[in-house]
Structure 1
Amino acid sequence: MPPSATGAIAPAAPASRVRQYYALTKPRVVQLIVFCAMIGMLMAEPSLPDWRRFAAASAGIWLVAAAAAAFNCLVERHVDARMQRTAWRPTARGELAPREALAFSALLCAAGCALLCGEVNALTMWLTLATFVGYAVVYTIVLKPRTPQNIVIGGASGAMPPLLGWAAMRDDIAVPAVLMWLIIFLWTPPHFWSLALYRIDDYRRAGIPMLPVTHGAASTRRHIFVYTLLLFVSTLLPAAAGMSGTIYLAVALGLGISFILRSWTLLRRYTDALSRRTFRFSIVYLALLFLGLLVDHYASAWH
């Protein structure tokens, strides 16, 4: 899943070495990635999954996702230094040398892949490694500096966690996993563009062609609204496909209508504060939507 950055205040003095390395993993972003992967694991089984495989898969996915985050910080260290919301990162401040960040990323990736291959299955390892390449290389190096559609195309990689979780339990890819992937794929643009709207000066200063920079705020708000509508439709597909029931459908309808109203208000009457609230709501939205899917899953299984 492409990074959902939040504002941060630079510390007065360099952090400890452990904290510097930990910061490279983008903990909040990785937590959301692992959460979505866990939902995929739980949805793959009619009852509770084997806890050993669940734990190994969660740890392996965390390690590779953290490796991708660290590699992103390494590649974008000069860009991060020009942006207020990322200038605090240890690579941007020069507190960690490039070789240290690269070695840390490689170590995490190798450990995660070894764990997934040895304790889960080869399919999950290869899919997770492909996700690493999709985010750290295709999105960060190729797409982000070149096209305002970077977050859309790169979202294909960022939406992978439920597929990884499903593959970890079932050693295959099935329709329910693809539907969860589609939801995150369509969620990513309105989520990230809401951030880009009120951080436009950061992106303009860093020379990154995000949609608000290249096409303006009004066009970006229209894009957000359209993608929110597409997202709403995609969230109804699990119920239409028989993957979920009335509990999830009620949650999807309530959250979806709320998101549409927020994006409509953002379209009609823009303020930075409203854009910030929309961005933050999108994170809560995804967590509650997937929790609703999970509750519905177990309610049906145990009925």
Structure 2
Amino acid sequence: MKRKASAYLALTKPRVIELLLVSTLPTMIFAQRGFPSVWLMVSTLVGGAMAAGASGAFNCYLDRDMDKLMKRTKGRPLVTGDLTPKEALIFSWALAITSLVVLWVGTNPLTTALGLAAILLYVVFYTMILKRRTAQNIVWGGIAGCMPVLIAWAAVKETVEWPAIILFLVIFLWTPPHYWPLSMKYAEDYNAASVPMLGAIANARRVSVQVVLYAWATVVCSLLLVPLGHAGIVYTAIAGGAGVWFIYESHVLYREAQGDHKPAVVNRKAMKVFHISITYLSIVFLALAIDPFVGSPLFG
């Protein structure tokens, strides 16, 4: 029973859910300029987590053929046999429907619609259409990962405003320099599964250039929240400082990739950027959550 429960949990990709929730609560706090009601926070977080979990479960079901070809994903429950495809599909549908019910009851129609859009974007647009067809899969497919900030903002404001759009774009621009370094490390896996991830099919020099460009774009976009989103000094200082760090490490990867270093050395740098990108985004959203309680907006 415990093994089965663990398998169902693994199907939802908990680490991805954690990362998505990192952006949800701070966005709600920033939108409210304080703490929203407990009911609203719980409904949004639970409904959002379930929607993300359903998306991950559908993804595991649809990608089960390629997962068995990749070392990184051979431990997933549909590959190990801990779950059958039928069990995974039923669980995915149940979780998706429940997530929408939770959002409908606990938030508002717009938030529920955005939750549904997030599921469809990840399952249909990314997994079924883009992932196996284009090296830009993670760029446009990453839109699904940007949806939690829109969901969070809509839950509080019952609309989508410029600050939410800026945060959406921050995550959109952050996704490639976060994921492409990982695909550099696991290039053999993606090639074995015939997934045209840029980090797997392009050389390290080309990928590192893209990582640097997207890192710069991410940081610049994050600072647009100051003049356009009424962010204050805390957010400005922390997001700016974290951004300098993220850009610096991206340039280190670029420098290593341009040299004659062994692939293992470049891959170590790539994985460092991957991990730093997670820390960077977490710091930015932590600053977003703190900002309303300290000082006042720098503009307006």
Instruction: Calculate the TM-score normalised by the size of structure 1.
Output: 0.92
How far is 1:111 from its partner?
0.7
Write the deviation string for residues 117-170 of structure 1: whole angstroms up to 9, x where unpaired: 112111111101100000011101100000000011112221111110111111
Map of 1:3 onto structure 2: none
Structure 2 CA distance for partners of 1:220 and 1:15, relative to 1, 3 Å: farther
Unaligned runs of 5+ residues in structure 2 are: 258-265
Map of 2:49 onto structure 1: 62
How far is 1:15 from its partner?
7.0
How far is 1:300 from its partner?
3.2
Map of 2:108 onto structure 1: 121
How far is 1:242 from its partner?
4.8
1:293 aligns with 2:288: yes
Please, which of 52, 77, 95 is the counterpart of residue 108 of structure 1? Answer: 95
State the one-letter code of the partner of 2:199: P
Please, which of 251, 255, 269 is the counterpart of residue 238 of structure 2? Answer: 251
How far is 1:94 from its partner?
2.5
Mapped partners of 1:17, 1:24: distance in 2: 11
State the one-letter code of the partner of 1:71: F
Map of 2:181 onto structure 1: 194
How far is 1:115 from its partner?
1.1
State the one-letter code of the partner of 2:18: Q
Map of 2:260 onto structure 1: none
How far is 1:216 from its partner?
2.1
Mapped partners of 1:212, 1:45: distance in 2: 39
Contact 2:173 2:218 in 1 (8 A): yes
Contact 1:71 1:105 in 2 (8 A): yes
Map of 2:85 onto structure 1: 98
Map of 1:16 onto structure 2: 3
TM superposition outliers: structure 1 runs of 4+ over 4 Å: none
Map of 1:203 onto structure 2: 190
Stretch moving more, 48-57 or 291-300: 291-300
Q: Percent identity?
A: 37
Q: Secondary structure at the match of 2:35?
A: coil
Q: Secondary structure at the match of 1:300?
A: coil
Task: Give the root-mean-square deviation of aligned CA atoms.
Answer: 1.5
How far is 1:202 from its partner?
0.9
How far is 1:107 from its partner?
0.6
Q: How does 1:218-257 map to 2 (within 5 A)?
A: 218-257=205-244
Contact 1:20 1:96 in 2 (8 A): yes
State the one-letter code of the partner of 1:299: V
How far is 1:215 from its partner?
2.5
Write the deviation string for residues 68-98 of structure 1: whole angstroms up to 9, x where unpaired: 1000000001111111111100012222111
Please, which of 277, 281, 298 is the counterpart of residue 282 of structure 1? Answer: 277
How far is 1:63 from its partner?
0.9
Map of 2:262 onto structure 1: none
Map of 2:134 onto structure 1: 147
Instruction: Calculate the TM-score normalised by the size of structure 2.
Output: 0.93
Q: Secondary structure at the match of 2:90?
A: helix
Unaligned runs of 5+ residues in structure 1 are: 1-13
Structure 2 CA distance for partners of 1:148 and 1:75, relative to 1, 3 Å: same
Mapped partners of 1:197, 1:155: distance in 2: 18
Mapped partners of 1:197, 1:15: distance in 2: 35
Contact 2:110 2:154 in 1 (8 A): yes
Contact 2:163 2:229 in 1 (8 A): no
Mapped partners of 1:94, 1:56: distance in 2: 33
1:136 aligns with 2:123: yes
Contact 2:118 2:144 in 1 (8 A): yes
Write the deviation string for residues 187-237 of structure 1: whole angstroms up to 9, x where unpaired: 000000011111111111111001123332211111101111111210110
